[in-house]
Structure 1
Amino acid sequence: MADEKNSKQLFWYNIALLGFVSVWGLGNVVNNFAQQGLVVVVSWVLIMTFYFVPYTLMVGQMGATFKDAEGGVSSWIKEVSTRRLAYFAAWTYWVVHIPYLAQKPQAIMIAGSWLFQSNGNFVKTMPSIVVQSLCLVLFLLFLYLASRGITTLNRIGTIAGMSMFIMSILFIILGLAAPAMTGSGIATQNMNHLSSYMPKFNFKYFTTISMLVFAVGGSEKISPYVNSTKNPAKNFPKGMIVLAIMVAVSAIMGSFAMGMIFDANNLPDDLMANGAYLAFQRLGHYFHVGNLLLWIYAIANAMASIAALAVSIDAPLRILLDDADPDYIPAGLRKRNKKGTPVNGYRLTGLLVSLIIIIPALGIGGTNSLYNWLLNLNSVVMPLRYLWVFLAFMLLNRHLDKFHSDYMFVKNSKVGFGFGLWCFLFTAFACILGMVPKIEYASNPSAWWFQLILNVLMPAILIGIGFILPAIARRHSTKELQ
Structure 2
Amino acid sequence: MEKDSKQISWLMIALIAFNITWSLGNVVNNFAQQGIVVITSWIVLLIIYFVPYTLMVGQLGSTFKDSEGGVSDWIKHTSTKQLAFFAAWTYWVVQIPYLAQKPQSILIALGWIIQGNGEFVGSLSMPVLVALCLFTFVLLLYISTKGLQALKFLGTLAGSTMLIMSVLFILLAAGVPFIKSDLQLATANMDQVSTYIPKFDFSYFTTIALLVFSVGGAEAISPYVNKVKNPAKGFPKGMIAMAIIIGACAIFGSFAMAMIFDSNHIPGDLMRNGAYQAFAVLGQHWGIGNFLVTIYGLTQFIGQASTLAICIDAPLQIFLGSADEDFIPSWLRKRTKSGMLINGYLLTGVLVGIIIILPLFGLKEIDGLVVWMTNLNAIVSPLCFLWVFLAYMFLYRHWDSFKNAEYKFVKRPLLGFLVGAWGFAFTAFACILGMAPQVDFATHPTEWWFSLATNIITPIALLALGLLLPWAAQREKKKQA
The question of a shared fold, defined as TM-score above 0.5 by the shorter chain, is answered with: yes
The residue type paired with residue 424 of structure 1 is F
Q: 1: distance between equivalents of 2:117 and 2:227?
A: 46
Per the TM alignment, residue 448 of structure 1 is displaced from its structure 2 partner at its CA by 0.7
Moved more, 119-128 or 311-320: 119-128
Report deviation, 1:148. Answer: 2.2
Match of 2:445 in 1: 445
Q: What letter matches 2:26 in structure 1?
A: N
TM-score by length of 1: 0.98
Q: What corresponds to 1:151 in structure 2?
A: 149
Distance in 2 (alpha carbons) for counterparts of 1:352 and 1:13: 39
Indicate the SS of the match to 2:441: coil
Question: In 1, distance between residues paired with 2:358 and 2:282?
Answer: 38
Shift, 1:436, TM fit: 0.7
Could you tell me which runs of 5 or more consecutive residues in structure 1 were left unpaired when the two chains were aligned: none
AA paired with 1:406? E
Asked if the contact 2:10–2:235 (Cα under 8 Å) also holds between the matched residues in 1, the reply is yes
Output one character per residue of 1:197-233: Cα deviation in whole Å (capped at 9) or x when no partner. 0011110000000000000010001111111011100
Number of the residue aligned with 1:313 = 312
Hey, what's the Cα distance between the residues in 1 that align with 2:307 and 2:252?
A: 26
The residue that corresponds to 1:275 in the other structure is 274
In 1, the alpha carbon distance for the partners of 2:471 and 2:206 equals: 36
* Distance in 1 (alpha carbons) for counterparts of 2:156 and 2:207: 31
The offset of 1:257, in angstroms, is 0.5
User: What residue is the counterpart of 1:205 in the other structure?
Assistant: 204
Q: Which residue of 1 aligns with 2:397?
A: 398
Determine if the alignment matches structure 1 residue 45 to structure 2 residue 40: no
How far 1:15 sits from its partner (Å)? Answer: 1.2
The answer to whether the Cα contact below 8 Å between 1:123 and 1:368 also exists between their aligned partners in 2 is: no
| Counterpart for residue 290 of structure 1 | 289
Confirm or deny that 1:248 pairs with 2:254. Answer: no
Per the TM alignment, residue 8 of structure 1 is displaced from its structure 2 partner at its CA by 4.8
Q: Which residue of 2 aligns with 1:137?
A: 135
Contact kept, 8 Å, 2:212 with 2:378, in 1: the verdict is: yes
Counterpart of 1:376 in structure 2 is: 375
Deviations 1:135-193 (A, max 9, x none): 10110111111122222111111100000000000000111211222343211110001
SS at match of 1:269: coil
Paired residue secondary structure (2:442) = coil
- How far off is 1:48 after superposition? 0.1
- Aligned partner of 2:480 in structure 1 is 480
Shifted more, 175-184 versus 105-114: the winner is 175-184
Equivalent positions of 1:222-241 (< 5 A) are 222-241=221-240
CA distance in 1, matches of 2:361, 2:96: 19
Give the Å deviation of 1:5: 6.8
Is residue 333 of structure 1 aligned with residue 349 of structure 2? no
Amino acid at match of 2:385: Y
Aligned 8 A contact 1:179 1:186 in 2: no
CA contact (8 A) 2:111 2:121 kept: no
| Contact 1:182-1:287 at 8 Å conserved across structures | no
Q: CA deviation at 1:9?
A: 1.4
Aligned-residue offset at 1:7? 6.6
Match of 2:67 in 1: 69
Determine if contact 1:176/1:260 at 8 Å carries over to the other structure: no
1:423 matched to 2:453 = no
How far apart, CA to CA, are the structure 2 residues paired with 1:281 and 1:250?
A: 20
Q: Distance in 1 between matches of 2:411 and 2:360?
A: 51
Task: Provide, for residues 367-408 of structure 1, a one-character-per-residue CA deviation record: whole Å limited to 9, x for no partner.
Answer: 111111011100000000000000000000111110221000
* Cross-structure match for 2:126: 128
CA distance in 1, matches of 2:444, 2:273: 23
TM-score, normalised by the number of residues in structure 2: 0.98
* 1:466 pairs with 2:475: no
Shift of 1:360: 1.8
Letter in 2 for 1:477: K
Residue identity in the other structure for 1:450: F
Which of 162, 167, 170 is matched with 1:169 structurally? 167
1:390–1:424 CA contact under 8 A, matched in 2: yes
Amino acid at match of 1:31: N
Cα displacement (A) at 1:451: 1.1
8 Å Cα contact 2:6-2:226 kept in structure 1: no
1:185–1:7 distance in 2 versus 1, CA, 3 Å:
farther
Query: Which residue of the partner structure matches residue 323 of structure 1?
Result: 322
Q: Which amino acid aligns with 1:74?
A: S
The amino acid that maps onto 1:209 is I
Q: Secondary structure at the match of 2:29?
A: helix
**Whole-angstrom CA distance in 2 between matches of 1:235 and 1:328:** 39
Residue 124 (structure 1) shift: 2.8
Offset of residue 86 of structure 1: 0.3
Partner of residue 457, structure 1: 457
SS of the residue aligned with 2:190? coil
In the alignment, structure 2 segments of 5+ residues that lack a partner are none
Q: CA deviation at 1:326?
A: 0.6
Alpha-carbon distance between aligned partners in 2 of 1:208 and 1:123, rounded to the nearest angstrom: 26
The structural deviation recorded for 1:120 is: 1.3
Measure, in 2, the Cα distance between the counterparts of 1:432 and 1:307.
31
Distance in 2, matches of 1:155 and 1:280, equals: 26
1:188-199 counterparts in 2 under 5 A? 188-199=187-198
SS of 1:148's partner is coil
1:407 has 2:410 as partner: no
Return the offset for 1:446: 2.2
2: CA distance, partners of 1:6 / 1:177:
44
Answer whether contact 1:284 1:290 (CA < 8 A) is retained. yes
Question: CA deviation digits over 1:113-149, x for unaligned, max 9?
Answer: 0001111123432112211111101101111111222
2:15 matched residue in structure 1: 17
How many Å separate the matches in 2 of 1:361 and 1:69?
A: 43
8 Å Cα contact 2:362/2:446 also seen in 1? no
Deviation string 1:264-292 (CA, Å, 9 cap, x unpaired) is 11110010010000000110011000000
Deviates more, 1:33-42 or 1:439-448: 439-448
Conserved? CA contact 1:15–1:225, under 8 Å: yes
- Cα distance in 2 for partners of 1:128, 1:258 equals 29
**Residues 5 and 394 of structure 1: is their aligned pair in 2 closer, same or farther, counting only changes over 3 Å?**
closer
